Structure 1
Amino acid sequence: MQYIRNVETQICYYGRVQRFFMETFEQIFLQIIHDACTNKTSSIDIAPQDMDALLALAKDQSCVPYVLPYLNDKNRLEPLKYQTKLMMLNYYQIDQFTRRIAALFEANQIPYVLLKGISLAAFYPVSEYRKLGDVDLYINEKEQFERAGKLLLANGFKKDDDVSDHHQGYLYTFPKTGRTLILELHFRIVGLYQYAPANQIVDAVFGFNAFQPEHQIINGTTYPVLPPTQYTFYMLHHMLKHYLYSGFGIRLLCDFTFYLEHFYSQIDFDQIHSWCHDSKILHLYEIILETCRIYLGLSETVDPTVHYDRRDCESFIQQLLAGGDVNKATAAALVGSTSYSRITPFTYLKEGHLQMHVRFPKLGKCPLLWPALWIITFVCFLHNTYTLRNTTLKETLRSFKQDNQRSKLLRIFDNTDN
């Protein structure tokens, strides 16, 4: 087995080096994922003492189907088969939900772009094995976005109350089953950063008339999607946002690997380098690409000039394994918009100001209202901390400092040495 070895990684918190040893079950899990991404099957012996931890990790990373071929214990196998069937059923429900929305928009001549979801699942060896949560569509023209919202409300959708700086959520409940599915209608491709040049590049790349959508046929239905170069850049920002705000697991690396293997000859990597360098996320791209090569078997022919320190990649993959799948943030999490070299009281004020703009995107444009909006934002933050997160302000701020140290591994918005 390629990865069954003693692996030690180091991460520095507050000047102290902490050592993390990759457990045997983690190494086995990575070998299984490597096999899935390269369409190979290794001979893997799983010791009884590693089995429970391996299965727990697979569940946490939404990768249960890939473990099934390596199990012989019927008592463990049957529940996992059932979970896999539910995952496959969910895939087809999301597929039908996507078709319903697409047909509604097309009948009313509303242009849109399908993001991730079934679009990325199509490049997996078994599409149904990619976990799906909701449907994401992008409309980068304000008038059409407003038309789409009215159309959805007129057809049984309800607005989601969650506040976002880049999308509006809509809920649809199916009368027969009672199940509610979510559509995230994006007016920006990703949320705002505090680093203004990154926002400017994102707007330039994905703004109105900035690109010509391509078309992808999925289960017999044709959808407009991003061109390969823009899609690759979007996935990087999607991973970055999740990394900063809630963390992400190995699934997004699988997305990236399968997509690049399929489209690498059509991707303008020089353009990717330029966009990443100018928005100061080049280190993010480098560590993700190299990590996909080492642990997921991404071909060396994909952008072969880009490499990253192997020890940092080990630390990075360790973080992803520990963090769980997308949207499984810790209860005490206070999101940061970037990584900071040092946390000071001004840092918290800066983050609070950004969250004020997220909560009040229109009112926040008026500086005279800022003092009142700051107070409201802080009160909402305290309410969420003690009621929704069920934690304390002290614990939340402590976790924020630790998460900031963790995110510094990627040197986000930093192009030193480049």
Structure 2
Amino acid sequence: MKYTCIESEYLVALLKCALKNEDVPDVPVGLNWEKLVKLSNEQQVYSTIAPVINKINIPVEQAQELTFYTQNELVRMIAMKNELEQIEKELDALKIDYMLLKGSVIKLCYPKQKMRQMSDVDILYHEKDRERLVSMMKKRGFLLETSEANTDDFFKPPYYTFEWHRAIFDERDEFHPDFDLWKRAKQDKEKPSKYNIDESDLFIYSICHAYDHYCQSGFGIRFICDIYLLLNKLENLDMAYVNSTLEDFGIKQFGEDTINLAMAIFEEKEISESEQSLLDFILSGGVYGKRAAFGDVIEEKYGGSKIKYIFKRLFPPKRQIMKTYRVCERHPVLLPLFYIVRIFQKYKFKRKKINKELSDLKNIK
């Protein structure tokens, strides 16, 4: 197996040690610690390697940087966990059925839950409950940031982010398989409104989610960590059903490459040329892909025009504004006002994310 740089190779080695509780390998000669810490941040795996990197004598500046990252992430995770617990109580009281998705479930497979970083909490619910759900979240102090065809994104300062999915795929996207997670889900024994995702469906959805990111801008090494742990920790994983479903969705080969890559990395199996290419692609970007792929999106959808991209981001379709600000459905004349309101709200609460996106946009050739 080949790596693009020493830092990528050592990061993967640290991830392997952390997830398999193995001895930490010797630090390779010429390792750039600043570059490694930056890479772990871009890939959002610094909390994953934290337990093992503490056993290494690393430069003070990078040690402090990693400590800062992991402590902040831990505080945020605890706060998000407490918020979720309160929301779940309200969902039970309102009899709104829901299902936790993605990181909220996958983290249970990690040696320690705090080792799996999450940017938000993803929850599936039914379209019929949307009005009550939105009302509940707003009463809890959340701002409905964005409402898309299949999701509602809520934010509350300083960092509470919840994505509520009415469907797991947007029918407007090229990849949108007909996948009903409710069909095999089981009602929770303690929380009557909670449904637990079927283990095989969780694995399939994880592959689909990775493929969705792969088609748009790519994905990072954290997805491979997830796949490896799901393969090894899920007790009722039905691979015949998994393979059949992935074949129906047209992504069986992608699923096989992803699984084989996970096994090659963590179990030192042989790696094919296509899997090596996938690894190079993964390690060349961040947790959700790389800037080059972002540039491809700009080229394909906006003819390479950054101005058109910015305009589209500032002024999305009016149906999205109406979905987010329901008053506009009754009074369309208010649409121009709420376009401006949206811009100010985004800048107030998502300034860091906006600046990052503008920086990425600036660096596209």
Output the TM-score relative to the length of structure 1: 0.66
1:131 equivalenced with 2:113 (yes/no): no
Distance change in 2, residues 1:159/1:323 (3 Å): same
1:85 equivalenced with 2:71 (yes/no): yes
3-state SS in 1 of match to 2:156: strand
3-state SS in 2 of match to 1:169: strand
Aligned to 1:185: 164
Distance change in 2, residues 1:222/1:93 (3 Å): farther
**Could you list the runs of 5+ residues in structure 2 that have no partner in the other structure?**
322-356
Aligned to 2:25: 43
Cα contact 2:214–2:289 (8 A) shared by 1: no
**Could you list the runs of 5+ residues in structure 1 that have no partner in the other structure?**
8-20, 174-178, 301-307, 337-342, 364-387, 400-418
Task: Provide the C-alpha distance between the structure 2 equivalents of 1:248 and 1:288, rounded to a whole number of angstroms.
Answer: 11
Distance change in 2, residues 1:267/1:106 (3 Å): same
Distance change in 2, residues 1:282/1:257 (3 Å): same
Cα contact 1:276–1:282 (8 A) shared by 2: yes
3-state SS in 1 of match to 2:54: helix
Aligned to 2:83: 97
Which structure shows the higher helix fraction? 2
Aligned to 1:142: 127
1:213 equivalenced with 2:154 (yes/no): no
1:285 equivalenced with 2:266 (yes/no): no
3-state SS in 2 of match to 1:168: strand
Equivalent position amino acid for 2:150 in 1: H
Distance change in 2, residues 1:84/1:391 (3 Å): closer
1:247 equivalenced with 2:205 (yes/no): no
Equivalent position amino acid for 1:87 in 2: E
The one of 209, 213, 227 aligned to 1:256: 227
Cα contact 1:190–1:241 (8 A) shared by 2: no
Please give the residue correspondences for 1:365-404 in structure 2 after superposition, counting only pairs within 5 Å.
389=358
Structure 1 residue 222: Cα displacement: 10
Aligned to 1:321: 283
1:168 equivalenced with 2:152 (yes/no): yes
Task: Provide the C-alpha distance between the structure 1 equivalents of 2:79 and 2:59, rounded to a whole number of angstroms.
Answer: 28
Equivalent position amino acid for 1:105 in 2: L
Aligned to 1:268: 238
Aligned to 2:349: none
Cα contact 1:164–1:359 (8 A) shared by 2: no
Cα contact 2:33–2:59 (8 A) shared by 1: no
After superposition, the C-alpha distances for 1:120-172 in whole angstroms (9 at most, x for unaligned) are 21211121122121111101x22123321222223322210x35332111122
3-state SS in 2 of match to 1:45: coil
Stretch of structure 1 that moved more, 52-61 or 273-282: 52-61
Distance change in 2, residues 1:37/1:344 (3 Å): closer
Aligned residues: 323
What percentage of residue pairs aligned between the two structures are identical? 17
Equivalent position amino acid for 1:97 in 2: E
Aligned to 2:337: none
Task: Provide the C-alpha distance between the structure 1 equivalents of 2:163 and 2:75, rounded to a whole number of angstroms.
Answer: 21
Cα contact 1:248–1:320 (8 A) shared by 2: yes
Task: Provide the C-alpha distance between the structure 2 equivalents of 1:314 and 1:216, rounded to a whole number of angstroms.
Answer: 44
Equivalent position amino acid for 1:113 in 2: M
The one of 195, 217, 237 aligned to 2:208: 237
Cα contact 1:213–1:227 (8 A) shared by 2: yes
Distance change in 2, residues 1:260/1:193 (3 Å): farther
Structure 1 residue 344: Cα displacement: 11
Stretch of structure 1 that moved more, 308-317 or 244-253: 308-317
Cα contact 2:6–2:31 (8 A) shared by 1: no
